[in-house]
Structure 1
Amino acid sequence: MSKVPFNVDAYTAKLIGRENVSKLDGAILELVKNTYDADASICFLYYENETDTLYIGDNGTGMTEEIILKHWMTIGSSSKKIQYKTRKGRIQTGAKGIGRFALDRIADKCELLTVSEEEHLIWDVDWSRFEFGQRITDITADLDPSTKGFDEFLSDVINPNVNKIVDDNFQRTGSIFKLTSLRDKWDKSVVDSIKSNLRTLIPPEFKEVFNVYFFETTTTIEEAAVLQDSDDFAYDYKVHFVAESSGKVTVNIYRDEFDFSDKFDEIMTGAGFENFERDYFQGKPIEKVLSFNEIIGSKENIENTIGDFEGTLYYAKLNATKADREKYYYKDITGRPDIRSIFGGIRIYRDGFRVRPYGDPKSSSSDWLMLAARKNKSPAAISHDTGSWRVNADQMHGSIYISRTNIHLPDQANRQGIVETKEFGLLRLFIEKTIRLFERDRQYVCRLLNRYYDELHPTEDIEKEIKKKLQESQKNEETAKKSNQPPKQSPVIDVKKVSELVDKKDSTIRDLENEIQMLRVLATTGIVTNTYVHEIKDVTHKLNLNIVMAKEAIEYDKDMQSALDYITKASVAREAFTSWFKVTIESVRRDKRRMRKTSVSDLVSKLIESWKESLSPKNIEIIDTMDDVEFKCFPYELESILNNLIANSVASFEKKVSDDKKIFISIISQEDGILIRYSDNGIGLSESYKKNPRRILEPLETDKVTNAGDVIGTGMGMWIINRIVSEYYGAIDLSKNMSSSEGFYIDLVLKNKD
């Protein structure tokens, strides 16, 4: 009987790789992980749009011929299975031996220059050969010695900064892939998605030993750095914990939310804080050393079977009412950046790399700890004496660090999460209980400050007194009615106290209304700015470049004419900035936040002129017709309406093939107000909104998505418009969109408030 060996169709091997690396983002991340495993301190990616080529390089140890043959070219084989620590002591992230198929997912053709201490090698493969009908052993790659250095390998790249980062950091060893015949269209949305994923791939703390750069043709080295410093995270509370396999847990809680300024001693004493707490408001952490079981809070003795792990959690609010700022002495958080779309959620890192999808704001696992459901069960306010305050899910972000040595937390086979073992449930419970420690501390502080505020501002006591007397009066009337007797004299309510209470309530309402109005205009500014963020970066680069070139022309070449030419170009870039500022920042000027009679035609004409400067490079034309009419309004609210509509049109035109891009704006005088008639000849509303276009007026409704299906619109612009129109007793007509095959149409009626 003859022995017949098994073989594998080449396409089957390809399917194995595709099953494990199915998405472009995932393929990129796998290759970046490999660079870390190679003991690299620098990894760079460079996408060259002009040649549709992607380079991925690292200054790691490189590969020898033996490693390439035994491991790189052998499917399922990995040198990391047994020897999982690198020379630098890093715990390697991969061991399945299929990461190289990430190359196949990205491109058909791949050329690799790898330089180790022993050899210079060129490896070349055409993945399109892995098709039906061929056996895996029949497929070959080219592997040859090479005399090429990194400079020669990159001699054709357009961006000189790529060569510079290689010259400065690739001293002796490393590897660079050159990928051509890319499988995906690398448009702006794809590039932005990859950058976003790279930002959270590695925790900020790793910047000291490993950094990642993403270059495009005109990107500088500073712009290419994708990792963010942990110091850049603004927070109100920080919680750092270390859990040891022995059962010992150390938790440090940092308060950074409160600012007592020159009233520090007065507030500490008046609110009733203990003397030892003074340091906790001045940077010293509250340290708690507990057992694992004490954190869990179980009657049974639950041991730490997870192993060693640690984490850092941040609580950060994005806004606070004026009343709360006064009551709780919050620090000023004006201008605090909203990082939720990138760093939102609590992420898990294994040996320094993200374990997806935990904490990913674009996935259902963003709130994998179910903090939102927990909040719904206990919605108590922070100052409530009887309730237990719970944090909102979108106010928490942070990092949990586990390792390959946490053997009871294995990765799923498809690398899309952790197998939900008993230990994974225990990890989730531990983090929730650790968050509870912070919640108790914050509620403790806010309760004391709330009581102190009530002592200084007794309006709540007045309100309680008035309510009590009104209830007594109502009770007297009901008793008298039942007994057919005249009612007893009702308790006397002090008019002065009522007046104080009404004044206080009116002041609070006015403050809240002003805050809401300001938040609307700031939201609109953010929406408009986000529409042009790519162009703004491009203008910034051109401005910086021309200033540097002018300086060098003067200092080194003594060429005043060239310097003047560069300064002229810089001036053009500056003018582009001015046009952005006119559209955005100008709208928050104080005089525009005062209700007054406004010449609508003048206001809108100036706004359109500002937009025309910005839209001219995009070949977008605004055509306007306006009646000469005065209308009593907040000027910035009319600007907010038009800014949101124009920003939506610009986004629509990006998907329009034709260069015919027009916006039509008409201002029509009416007996009791104005009619704003707006339309464009863009692609129009998506089919999902055609039957009921008024859905776009609801908050968070958007049809702005990338080619990958990721939602990129805020869904707030049209909602802001709807709120403004309703406050002018107006109406919105979107009915024409139901029958139109293209273009967007809206009529807005605003009536005089007087």
Structure 2
Amino acid sequence: MKEIPFKVSARAARLIGAENIANAESAVIELIKNSYDADAETCLVYFEHIFDEIPSSFTHQEFEYLSASPSFDKFSSFFKRLSDDCYKIGISSSDESLKESTSYELLVSWLTNLCRVWIVDDGHGMNEKTIENNWMTIGTNNKEKSPTTKKFIRIKSGAKGLGRFALDKLGALSSVYVYPDKEYYQLDKNNSCLEWYNWWENFLAEGKTLDSVKAQLDYGALDNLFHTKYLPEDIFDNDLGFKFKNHGVVICCDYNKENWHKERQKRLCDSLETLIPPNEKDNFSLFFVSNKYSELNKKISSAVNTNFDYKVSAQLGDDNSVVIDIDRNEFEVSEFPEEFYESERFKNLGSSIDDFKKGRQRHCLTLKNLFPKLDEFDSIGNFSLSFYFSKLGSPGKEDREKFLYKSFDLSTRKSWADTFGGIRIFRDNFRVRPYGEPGAAKDWLGLGDRAASSPAGIGNPDGGWRVRPNQISGVVSISRVNNPRLADKSSREGIQENDEFAQFKSVILKILEIFENDRAEIGAELKAIYDQKNAESQKEEQANTISKQVLEGSKNKEGNNEEEVSPEQKNLKLLASQYEKKKEQIEELREEQKILRSLATIGTISSSFSHDLKLLHGKLVKRFIPVQRTLEANHEYSINNNLDFTEDLLDSIERIKIFKNQDNSMKDWINFSLLGVKKDKRRRRKVYLDQYLKQLKKIWEKKLDDRSIDFDVDVIPKDIALKCFEIDLDCIFNNLVVNSVEAFSQKDAPSLRKINIEIHSNETDVIIIYSDSGPGLSKDIVNPQRIFQCFFTTKVNEHSGEDEGTGIGMWMVKSTINEYRGNTKLLLDKSGFGLEIQIPKNL
């Protein structure tokens, strides 16, 4: 058998280099990472523009430089030789029209944009063996075998073995000058350095294989300091104070492929500020220099945010512990009223008064607390998170009085958000792009969608406030060593979208949720106190009384002469009538809200049975195929043999009966869905609970029987009734039953499956006790009352940790009961789940 070796086209270098790196800025960052991995203490990015403007003439050396460019052939006809050492662009006064030509404009653009990109460091460099075995080997795994550096014990940021191909993105010719650290490589030589050259266009030759392309390697004499020998002299004419040790690497990317105009260089410079996180140690200094735009020259340093409302730091440990530290800087706590500290919402924060006044809060949790219904994660690895929340709008006077906000500098916040906005990911102290970049990647956590689905404000009594993506900035720190499954994509732009990355995002969102709940609890209580002190409800009652009095008075005067009615009385009547119309409109909106709530309940139920519907859908598509084949085969056989019904035909008839049952099941489901929006359910009337629960049990009977769930309703006195909207009772009981059904499907659910409802009454209230024999609320839920908050859910995907529940079921139960001035009480001492509901009789 003949064995055929694989061949790799030389063009593959372009595929894994220039075409595999998102942009030239990313290429620069890849090379900076190499400097960091080489234990460099100083790294310089230098842009050397060859011509500030078109010169009147070119020296022989300048002409030779231009003629070596891959682009020169397009412009060679413009150059005229004046002498052995002098050339000029050959347009005479009689050929002024040529200056208007497109080709001439391209020539000017080419010359003014010619630029070398230098990346320089004082790391340990490379020896000849390293260049041959690592630098010249595609996909080498030397950084995986030795993940930390020798001198500073840095975790190496590179891993793919493809970084050197970033050079192709930056220039047609790459020149790399290397002087190895003698101590690191244990060398005796101290008077020479390595010079490596490569034209990237060589890889595009037709028919060439990768191993047939050769780079040039030579030794150069070294008579003075290494970096000063190869760098342009003018690079040191600045006051930035960078200096190098006498070893390292000098990379020159010549004949640039990108236009490095001022705005693009500034964008790169700003991007480099976010390259190193604020907590990086000061043993790696990064400088940016441009010979054309000297105003951009600077030492790159990480900025620190001091103008924020909240700072949250979190650490996920190896033991799945989650420690979250919250630093509040938003409220004038010294002005908080005493009743705030006596409220249930303050108690829900789990903070002492002293700690709260200091603005600090620590939560010591576990992943099990964050995901009570999910097995503990064991694949993400430990990581840290630090983010800032900042309002980007000036609150109005009423909001400042209501929420007791501190004053802040809005322009500084907006400037910070423009540069550092979004949550950025850092691996081993280096930025993983594009997370946090402008555009879709800035909101890679989907905060915009979360906020849109829950547009509640900070003062919403039911909670549900969500942070907006433009209000947050921060850093998530991961490591190649501690988080090996959060691996880069092959393009080095982003992390592979696997289950571990989905889990990673889910954990971050749960940590964000702790902060959101903290702020929402404080805001809701401050608003409640403000409303109470300002007697909003009393003012509304007074307005209602005045409106009625004005309209009654107008009716009594209708027989009077129109001219006797003063303009003030006419205006009062107009205001009162419009006020009453607005009240009617609000009431209509409330009725629409009830319908929407019912539809949301149906959506929740649909989600619960979506798996059943998918299976049923698959059967419906194929259900008649086996019947048709069997009937046709038996029909033909019976004709040929004069036979009556066969066993196969009888079997086919039985199959049809099964299909009819499935169709009936679908019919029952559709009827159940439509039942919630029947018109008579949207009218307030006296509903006898005995009759209502019998009907409810009948509706659910088949679905519960299929799941072996018993639904018991204790004997209810026939006279117990509520004057209510039946649609609201549907909202309460259907959501409770759906939650029980889903609880019985959990791994830790007991074999006994039972739902029980008992109802009795006293002089003032109807008391409903709902219970099931399921696993009950997880003991890992720190505050059980949170189940009533909008969008709080414990239903998560067991692989990714992403929320799968809607988080609105129990919130709708609670809000509906609140509308009837009722109360809810979790029966935490019962096995399974238990809820006591009290609703006043006289509504």
Q: What is the CA–CA distance in structure 1 between the aligned matches of 2:134 and 2:397, rounded to whole Å?
A: 62
**Partner SS state of residue 420, structure 1:** coil
Deviation for aligned residue 1:220: 7.0
Q: Against the structure 1 CA distance between its residues 280 and 221, is the aligned structure 2 distance closer, same or farther, given a 3 Å change threshold?
A: farther
- 1:40 aligned residue: 40
1:68 positional shift: 0.5
Secondary structure at 2:308 match in 1: coil
Aligned with residue 351 of structure 1, among 411, 428, 436:
428
**2:324 aligned with 1:248:** no
Q: CA RMSD in A?
A: 3.3
Amino acid at match of 2:320: G
- Seen in structure 2, the aligned counterparts of structure 1 residues 391 and 4 have a Cα distance that, compared at 3 Å, is closer
In the TM superposition, what is the alpha-carbon distance from 1:108 to its structure 2 partner?
1.2
Write the distance in 1 (CA, Å) between the matches of 2:448 and 2:468. 6
Q: Give 1:281 deviation, angstroms.
A: 3.4
Deviations 1:532-571 (A, max 9, x none): xxxxxxxxxxxxxxxxxxxxxxxxxxxxxxxxxxxxxxxx
Residue 444 of structure 1 deviates from its aligned partner by 1.9
The one-character-per-residue Cα deviations of 1:631-689 (angstroms, maximum 9, x if unpaired) are: xxxxxxxxxxxxxxxxxxxxxxxxxxxxxxxxxxxxxxxxxxxxxxxxxxxxxxxxxxx
**Would you say 1:376 and 2:452 are equivalent positions?**
yes
Determine the C-alpha separation between the residues in 2 that align with 1:242 and 1:47: 39
Is the deviation greater in 368-377 or in 10-19? Answer: 10-19
Q: Does 1:418 align with 2:495?
A: yes
1:206 aligned to which of 280, 294, 299? 280
| Equivalent in 173, 178, 188 of residue 252 of structure 2 | 178
Q: Within 5 Å, which residues of 2 pair with 1:735-746?
A: none
1:428 to 469, 487, 505: 505
Structure 1 position 145 matched with structure 2 position 219: yes
- 1:668 counterpart residue number: none
Residue 302 of structure 1 aligns to a residue whose secondary structure is: coil
Which one of the candidate residues 157, 182, 202 is aligned to 1:93?
A: 157
Query: Who is 1:31 aligned against?
Result: 31
The sequence identity of aligned pairs, in percent, is 33
Distance across 2 between alignment mates of 1:451 and 1:6: 73
Alpha-carbon distance in 1 for matches of 2:11, 2:49 = 30
Aligned-partner residue type, residue 486 of structure 2: L
Q: Within 1, Cα distance between the matches of 2:529 and 2:237?
A: 58
Q: What's the offset of the Cα at 1:99?
A: 1.0
Indicate yes or no: 2:464 matched with 1:464: no
Q: Are residue 125 (structure 1) and residue 212 (structure 2) matched? A: no
Tell me how far 1:457 sits from its aligned partner.
3.8
Q: What is the aligned partner in structure 2 of residue 279 from structure 1?
A: 355
- How many residues are paired up? 475
- Aligned ranges 1:378-397 → 2 under 5 Å: 378-397=454-473
Local SS of the residue matching 2:497: coil
Tell me the amino acid that sits aligned with residue 309 of structure 2: D
TM-score between the two structures when normalised by the length of structure 2:
0.52
Separation in structure 1 between the aligned mates of residue 29 and residue 176 of structure 2, nearest angstrom:
18
Q: 2:147 maps to which residue?
A: 84
Q: CA deviation at 1:240?
A: 0.7
Corresponding position of 1:114: 178
Q: Distance in 1 between matches of 2:542 and 2:248?
A: 78
Q: Are 2:463 and 2:520, in contact at CA under 8 Å, matched by a contact in 1?
A: no
C-alpha distance in structure 2 between counterparts of 1:197 and 1:164, whole Å = 19
Q: CA deviation at 1:295?
A: 1.6
| Pair 181,461 (structure 1): closer, same or farther in 2 beyond 3 Å | same
CA distance in 2, matches of 1:331, 1:461: 28
SS in structure 1 at match of 2:467: coil
**What is residue 325 of structure 1 aligned with on the other side?**
400
Match of 2:14 in 1: 14
How far the C-alpha of 1:471 sits from its partner, in A, is 7.3
Q: Is the 8 A contact 1:270 1:452 kept in 2?
A: no
How many angstroms does 1:341 deviate by?
Answer: 2.8
Whole-Å Cα distance in 2 between the matches of residues 368 and 421 of structure 1?
14
The match for 1:509 is: none
Higher RCO (CA 8 Å, separation ≥ 6 residues): 2
For residues 11 and 171 of structure 2, what CA distance do their matches in structure 1 show?
A: 16
Distance (Å, rounded) in 1 between the aligned partners of 2:526 and 2:441 = 36
After superposition, the Cα gap between the structure-2 partners of 1:381 and 1:466, relative to the gap in structure 1 and judged at 3 Å, is farther
Q: 1 CA distance for matches of 2:342 and 2:146?
A: 61
CA distance in 1, matches of 2:14, 2:423: 34
1:520-543: CA deviations, max 9, x gaps? xxxxxxxxxxxxxxxxxxxxxxxx
Give me the whole-angstrom Cα distance separating, in 2, the residues matched to 1:32 and 1:325. Answer: 46
Larger radius of gyration: 2
Of 53, 57, 64, the match for 2:127: 64
Whichever residue aligns with residue 56 of structure 1, its letter is I
What CA distance in whole angstroms lies between the structure 2 residues aligned with 1:5 and 1:432?
A: 49
Name the CA distance, whole Å, in 1 between partners of 2:35 and 2:404. Answer: 47
Unmatched 5+ stretches in structure 2: 52-114, 183-188, 557-571, 580-843
Taking the aligned partners of 1:426 and 1:4, their CA distance within structure 2 comes to 43
Cα–Cα, structure 1 residues 155 and 402, in superposed 2: closer, same or farther, change >3 Å? closer
Report SS of the residue matched to 1:176.
strand
Shift of 1:435: 0.9
Contact kept in structure 2, 1:113 and 1:176, CA below 8 Å: yes
Deviation track 1:127-180 (CA, whole Å, cap 9, x = no partner) reads: 22222233433332232233333343355343435696443xx22322111221
What is the CA–CA distance in structure 2 between the aligned matches of 1:53 and 1:414, rounded to whole Å?
A: 24
Which of 386, 401, 424 is equivalent to 1:312?
Answer: 386
Give 2:674's aligned residue. none
Q: What displacement does 1:321 show? A: 2.0
Q: Per-residue deviation at 1:5?
A: 5.2
Shift of 1:290: 0.7
Distance 1:7 1:384, change over 3 A: closer
Aligned to 2:369: 294
Conserved? CA contact 1:36–1:210, under 8 Å: yes
Which position in structure 2 is the counterpart of 1:187? 261
Q: How far off its partner does 1:318 sit? A: 1.8
- Please tell me whether the aligned partners of residues 173 and 199 of structure 2 are also in contact (alpha carbons under 8 angstroms): yes
CA distance in 2: counterparts of 1:164 and 1:394, whole angstroms: 34
CA contact 1:114–1:174 (8 Å) conserved in 2? yes
When residues 107 and 286 of structure 1 are mapped into structure 2, their CA distance, relative to the original with a 3 A threshold, is: same
Correspondence for 1:239: 312
Q: Judge which range, 143-152 or 344-353, deviates more.
A: 143-152
Map 1:706-721 → 2, pairs under 5 A: none
CA displacement at 1:429 relative to structure 2: 1.4
Distance 2:342 2:531 in 1: 12
Whether the 8 Å contact between 1:71 and 1:77 is mirrored in structure 2 is: yes
Alignment partner of 2:236 out of 144, 160, 182:
160
**What secondary structure is seen at the aligned counterpart in 1 of 2:373?**
coil
Q: How far apart, CA to CA, are the structure 1 residues paired with 2:340 and 2:475?
A: 33
Could you tell me how far apart the structure 2 residues matched to 1:136 and 1:303 are? 43
| Aligned 8 A contact 1:258 1:281 in 2 | no
1: distance between equivalents of 2:551 and 2:364?
Answer: 55
Equivalent position SS for 1:246: coil
1:735 alignment partner in structure 2: none
Name the aligned partner's letter for residue 180 of structure 2: S
Corresponding residue for 1:102?
Answer: 166
Partner of 1:550: none
Shift of 1:401: 1.3
- Which residue identity lines up with residue 514 of structure 2 in the other structure? L
Q: In the alignment, what sits opposite 1:216?
A: 290
Return the alpha-carbon distance in structure 2 between the equivalents of residues 13 and 214 of structure 1: 29
